[in-house]
Amino acid sequence: MDWKDKVILVTGGTGSFGKKCIKILLQEYHPAKIIVFSRDELKQHEMRVAGYEHPSLRYFIGDVRDLDRMRRALQGVNVVVHAAALKQVPACEYNPMEAIKTNILGSSNVIDAALDAGVSRVIALSTDKAVNPVNLYGATKLAAEKLFVQSNAYAGGKTTRFACVRYGNVVGSRGSVVPVFLKQRNSGKLTITDERMTRFWISLEQGVRFVIRCVEQMQGGEVFVPKIPSMTVTDLARAVAPEAAVEVIGIRPGEKLHEVLISDDEARTTVELEDMFVVQPAEALWFGHGWENLGKSLPDGFRYASNENADWLSTEQIQRIIAPIENAYEQGTLE
């Protein structure tokens, strides 16, 4: 896929993922145009001030909840990376309809506008919390995944294709536990919800590069899952503040002990490749099944869970991963 003649729109373009994605695309792929689509004029201004000024960049104020605005934004666009979402679990629990309007109805608007505008490829960001969800955020992302996969049936003779990328927690992203631990470190005490808790982890750059690769390889209807390591929350706390006391405050509503990236039911239609899994559409109505001969099937009962992972990060590895985040935090440049 040649990016140089492509027009790309990133919803949620002022967020942690959006900014990193735009930076890498500009520096390495040189697309004809990148449209930063977001609803906050202040964040767009702050992006410009931070150096995101480029002849290929366009700043477009709009909300994924607004179908007419979405249709206007997608005129002439070739690729959409849908990263806009309400993702804070407590905020989604307290404001359920707001989460539904953005994460579900907003995704539906992206799909409808992309079909109308003839966008070639649309990829949505999902989360491990969409698998067997126990909170509203996970439920909305599960619904968004289903919308994106099934909407390939509406493409008909058009070239528009939809796919999803699903991965775990992004180290140091907005709302991540790492900045919370860094702030608590000064008090000498860190709070965790449960000592047994495990999570999948991926760096922001790894996430962006995986999404770009999936845009290039997608056929339509897949959910792409990278193979990523797990860590325990207690190891993370020790890596951030080895000398600090740790207080266990109890698991919060809507929180899991362990996360799952592929359920045992999904595993039946999943293909394993060297560094990722591809969840193919359960129904064979259209496309997305071309991966069967490129990898291997998974055994019965397989599931990809953070506590059953073969790849674990040591405290030393965690310290190396969070070092840039610590530096940014100390310099006051952490986003």
Tokens of 265: 């039911």
- 129 included as an active-site residue: yes
How far is 154 from 137, CA to CA, in rounded Å?
A: 26
Strand order, beta sheet including 230-232: 169-170, 198-202, 230-232
- Token pair 């907003």 is found at 106
251 vs 193: CA distance, rounded Å: 5
Q: Which pairing describes strands 161-167 and 223-226: parallel, antiparallel, or unpaired?
A: parallel
221 neighbors 279 (Cβ within 8 angstroms): no
Catalytic residue among 20, 129, 141, 256: 129
- Burial of residue 244 (number of CB atoms within 10 Å: 0-12, 13-18, 19+): middle
- Nearest 5 degrees, angle CA 148-CA 150-CA 153? 115
**Contact present, 184 and 30 (Cβ < 8 Å):** no
Q: Contact 103/141 with Cβ under 8 angstroms?
A: yes
- Token output for 237: 């706390």
Known catalytic residues are 129
